[in-house]
Structure 1
């Protein structure tokens, strides 16, 4: 079969105009047995299954994971899902790539053999034994090996997760995090464990319980405040997962006794180190202030005192969709408290920013923005400003295009409040509530 293989090569500059010749297209005859029967693409990691047919590993694994139990080519039922690397064919493909290098074909790298469940179980046993001995150096070596396996492929990550690694690593973390400040001797190990655990959630109940202990949480918060950038990011990702998956109300109460957690999360938003860390910090704050814990108002008050309202409003202005939604969720929870509403009303940007996000980011962001406006419109100054920046028209449109019953009630109440100030403004009073806006589509 002939497959068009585009060879993009920019030739030397000609004349003083610095013009380039057009790219050249070359057609290369790819041998049929070099192509995967599933994708028809050149195989990078050929493996042979029990029927004797060779496929690219990624494609046949995707086929099997989809629930298929037959060979894609022969339709025979697979007696075993074992995949044997076809080293001879892989070398032939690599040689062919080298022969056609002048035409722009890149040599495929020699693939790494995927990790097996046996290897994962064996290394977990070694970590458990090293933990019992208190051998932190050995644990670091083993955890880094697991980390390297996970970095090689998503398949390796799935294999690692499915074979109980999370529980073993959590137990190891708890063991070396205990004993007061002695965990500082094992900071490298603890950071490596957190960096692996950050992509292993949700953990089982046993593994999560190891991370929810006071000693583990104190260690995580210490790393969040004092670690380097990678340590802080790994810590906040794990903390977010602990809060998100833990029993409502219990973990925030535990964190209340740990000094510095509020400050650590606040500084990660005020001085962001990465989008992932910012999102995790916002989610952790949301879990803490939206819980049923008795101390949530005290925690919220502390965040407000530190200036979280202003930081969030500034972050929302240019935030991407997911960050914007989480930030609005945090702001909505803050405005459930009197102190939070008072601080929000003092912010000169908040009304304009909230109106800007209506019907612009997503349905959820629109509902949150309307909810916050509804809470802040107790103040007359906010109602007047909302009219001036076009809130009436946007709220009317959101009501016409459809919204949930809870939001509908809030929007109607908001429109009644704003209509008092709307009569004198021609730009808004010209909008008739009977106009049909069904042709408008809200953002997905």
Structure 2
């Protein structure tokens, strides 16, 4: 029996706060907020230590199954014949029923058939069954990753330009590939399967992969695409090939905005940090106004510590070229944002922030950047850092910065009492 999703109102507390989809395996954090297991696991695996909904720092990253809510969702889904694997197209509730490994192998074989490389035999229901199987456990994902030809089949679906293959099928293939890629482990093989040789196309990434990244119907699909792109950018050649795919850098930079889904921002920052390593990519990011985007992220009070740390790392990378340093020094608001993040984020963030300030003020001796540091009470912060248990590198750079500002008679250091033994924290 086919149903119409337009006639079903989903209770808001059935939806995951991250993916906004009906939860398949609800689990609760120590803050009491419930998320879908796969969504919150990816959030935590990305290095975050906060609750996405409340931004509270987590005392523990462990979560517990919310059995009562799970039963409510199952009862409601059964009554409404609702299939949580497909929020955008009509399908029967039975299409996502749990499958055994033996049945999964039969489904994969059926999808492949004699036209395995084309993916023409794949339907959304087939892939939904596989996706449901993969989301059940890490053991299932390992089983799929080690299955002969399975990852090759998913890559073929993503490459497919067959008009009979619907966009939801490709989008679901991307999500399944992302879920099993870590268990697959061979990223050199994944790169071989996904990247298009230069002699065949000027763009290294499959057009369908770029479409999912830009137009995916779910945030988790776009996040999965960004993670896949990062996973195949494993050496200098592939990083450059990925970065120079038409429109990729522009879309990634435009995705760095406080109003964007936070897990997506986090994934985009990780990807850009990876692919910005080649020297000729950095000026491109400067021209695309990446520094202005990073400034807004750093100034946003809702950005978690792990995301702020990644924003600082990307800013350090982009400003390491001449164009990037000039852009940074001319943006006093960005310099002030870096000063504010020099403390109370993380030890790694502190070191990156101080490195950025040291490069601009000490190495390049830029007066605009130095003035911005003074205006934002940066000298007091540097003094506080030197009194803290900072790393030797941070201590040395802080000492160099203080030497620079001591030269200026108008600096606040001229009135600093050297007998002071304690400075109140901010």
- For the aligned pair, the TM-score class normalised by the smaller chain equals 0.5 to 0.7
- Of the three residues 227, 230, 247, the one matched with 1:243 is 230
How many residues were matched structurally? 325
Q: Helix, strand or coil for the counterpart of 1:263? A: helix
Partners in 1 of 2:390 and 2:310 — Cα distance?
Answer: 20
- Of the three residues 131, 156, 165, the one matched with 1:175 is 156
Q: Helix, strand or coil for the counterpart of 2:279? A: helix
1:1-48: CA deviation from partner (whole Å, max 9, x where unpaired): xxxxxxxxxxxxxxxxxxxxxxxxxxxxxxxxxxxxxxxxxxxxxxxx
Compute the TM-score of the two structures, normalised by the length of structure 1.
Answer: 0.63
Partners in 1 of 2:308 and 2:345 — Cα distance?
Answer: 8
Q: What is the CA RMSD across the aligned residues, in angstroms?
A: 3.6
Q: Does 1:282 align with 2:279?
A: no
- Of the three residues 136, 146, 158, the one matched with 2:120 is 136
- Of the three residues 259, 268, 279, the one matched with 1:297 is 279
Partners in 2 of 1:188 and 1:136 — Cα distance?
Answer: 14
Structure-2 residue corresponding to 1:127: 111
Partners in 1 of 2:251 and 2:212 — Cα distance?
Answer: 6
Contact 1:169 1:193 in 2 (8 A): no
Give the stretch that moved more between structures: 328-337 or 362-371.
362-371
Partners in 1 of 2:233 and 2:216 — Cα distance?
Answer: 26
Alpha-carbon distance change, 122 to 433 in structure 1, aligned in 2, over 3 angstroms: farther
Alpha-carbon distance change, 328 to 184 in structure 1, aligned in 2, over 3 angstroms: farther
Contact 1:237 1:277 in 2 (8 A): no
Q: Does 1:266 align with 2:248?
A: no
Partners in 2 of 1:310 and 1:166 — Cα distance?
Answer: 45
Give the stretch that moved more between structures: 161-170 or 371-380.
161-170
Partners in 2 of 1:168 and 1:323 — Cα distance?
Answer: 36
Q: Does 1:210 align with 2:189?
A: no
Partners in 1 of 2:282 and 2:221 — Cα distance?
Answer: 24
Compute the TM-score of the two structures, normalised by the length of structure 2.
Answer: 0.66
Q: Helix, strand or coil for the counterpart of 1:200? A: helix
Contact 2:282 2:318 in 1 (8 A): yes
Give the stretch that moved more between structures: 182-191 or 247-256.
182-191
Structure-1 residue corresponding to 2:43: none
Structure-2 residue corresponding to 1:30: none
Report the CA distance between 1:212 and its aligned residue. 3.6
Q: Does 1:363 align with 2:347?
A: yes
Report the CA distance between 1:233 and its aligned residue. 5.0
Alpha-carbon distance change, 218 to 268 in structure 1, aligned in 2, over 3 angstroms: same
Structure-1 residue corresponding to 2:338: 354
Give unpaired runs (5+ residues) of structure 2: 1-67, 79-95
Partners in 1 of 2:165 and 2:131 — Cα distance?
Answer: 21
Q: Helix, strand or coil for the counterpart of 2:179? A: coil
Alpha-carbon distance change, 270 to 368 in structure 1, aligned in 2, over 3 angstroms: same
Q: Helix, strand or coil for the counterpart of 1:217? A: coil
Partners in 1 of 2:399 and 2:246 — Cα distance?
Answer: 44
Partners in 1 of 2:132 and 2:419 — Cα distance?
Answer: 60
Contact 1:286 1:333 in 2 (8 A): yes
Greater C-alpha Rg? 1
Structure-2 residue corresponding to 1:374: 358
Structure-2 residue corresponding to 1:192: 172
Give unpaired runs (5+ residues) of structure 1: 1-96, 98-105, 291-295
Partners in 2 of 1:246 and 1:211 — Cα distance?
Answer: 11
1:114-166: CA deviation from partner (whole Å, max 9, x where unpaired): 75443443433333337527453534322111223345x4x3x4313334268
Trace 1:308-323 onto structure 2 (pairs within 5 A): 308-318=290-300, 319-323=303-307
Report the CA distance between 1:195 and its aligned residue. 1.6
Give the stretch that moved more between structures: 324-333 or 391-400.
391-400
